[in-house]
Amino acid sequence: MTPGLAKTPYDPIHSFAHIGLIAKGYHILVVHPSLPARSVQELVALAKAKPGSINYASAGNGTPLHLAAELFRTAAGIDTVHIPYKGSSPAATAVLAADAQMIFGGLVSSLPHVKTGRLRALAVTSPHREPLARDVPTMAEAGFPSVDPVSWYGISAPAGTPGPIVDRLSGELRRLVASREYRELLSGQAQQTVGSTPAEFRAFIAADLEKWTKVIRAAGIKAD
């Protein structure tokens, strides 16, 4: 839970000894085919021409899917309507049924529907085109480089864990994520292995926390 969203019984930075970042996974902006937008630019133009006419689904207030769409809404200067659902699966189902018109979905779960034509892909949030969807442009290519929401995975230990133990665990983790077997395993799940030092992981968490706290406060988002 992000402190900008609700009070937490821990401090994301100081309550842990951060060991290392493992991988990142990005989102894909998809719309229902009935929406007359075949690019991010067309989506933005449509939203500006008809403010409040486009609904977007999320897995609930304050969830990553909600924050991603709010980041896009702010960057594009558009007025879209949030429809929160109780989970990512119901949210995706709503877009498939045209009960909502757009969503920042998961790559692996969304691409099968894109291939069958049940969803239209407009952009991915990764810095480079995704190997599993090379024909889909990035948000940066679409003119919105700041819209780069990412799901990430890492390992942390309790605060006070001795430094030599943290360093050894971090080294073993970096060796794991650098292995060909692990990279291939995660690439099939649209995940990009990273690997980092404890200091780099700590800085990454701090920057991510600052970024999303600003989005939450600017949008006035409250947790359910």
> pLDDT tens for residues 128-185?
999 889 999 999 999 999 999 999 999 999 999 999 999 999 999 999 999 999 998 8
Whether 4 shows a pLDDT value over 80: the answer reads: no
Interval 196-213 mean pLDDT:
95
Any domain includes 112: yes
The answer to whether residues 115 and 33 belong to one domain is yes
Q: Give the chain's domain count.
A: 2
Tell me the pLDDT of the chain averaged across its residues: 93
Q: Which long-range contacts (CB under 8 A, 24 or more apart) does 71-77 make?
A: 71/146, 71/147, 71/149, 71/215, 72/29, 72/104, 72/139, 72/144, 72/147, 73/219, 74/215, 74/218, 74/219, 75/144, 75/146, 75/147, 76/44, 76/47, 76/144, 77/48
User: What percent of the chain has a predicted confidence (pLDDT) above 90?
Assistant: 85
For the cut 60, the answer to whether the pLDDT of residue 71 exceeds it is: yes
Residue with tokens 């999320």: 58
Other C-beta atoms within 10 Å of 96: how many?
A: 17
Q: Check residue 2 and give its pLDDT.
A: 54
Together in a domain, 154 and 124: no
The pTM is what?
A: 0.90
| Any domain includes 102 | yes
Which residue range is the domain that position 76 belongs to?
28-133
DSSP for 85-130, written as a single string: -SSHHHHHHHHHTTSS-EEEEEHHHHHHHHHTTSSEEEEE-SSS--
71 with 122, same domain? yes
For residues 32 and 127, state if they share a domain. yes
Residue 194's pLDDT is 92
Claim to verify: residue 35 and residue 65 sit in the same structural domain: yes
Helix, strand or coil for residue 217? helix
List the CATH number of the domain containing 42.
3.40.190.10
Are 203 and 168 part of one and the same domain? yes
Pair 171, 96 in one domain: no
- For residue 84, is pLDDT > 90? yes
Pick the last residue of a domain from 70, 99, 133: 133
Whether residue 1 is predicted with pLDDT greater than 50 in this model: the reply is: no
Residue 60 pLDDT > 70? yes
Contacts of 206 (CB under 8 A, 6+ apart): 13
Q: Which of helix, strand or coil describes residue 51?
A: coil
User: How many CB atoms neighbour CB 133 within 10 A?
Assistant: 19
Task: Kindly report, residue by residue over 12-23, the tens digit of the pLDDT.
Answer: 999 999 999 999
Q: Determine the pLDDT at residue 220.
A: 85
Would residue 199 count as lying in a domain?
Answer: yes
Burial (Cβ within 10 Å: 0-12, 13-18, ≥19) of residue 138: buried
Does 222 score more than 70 pLDDT? yes
**End residue of a domain, out of 133, 168, 184:** 133
pLDDT > 70? residue 188: yes
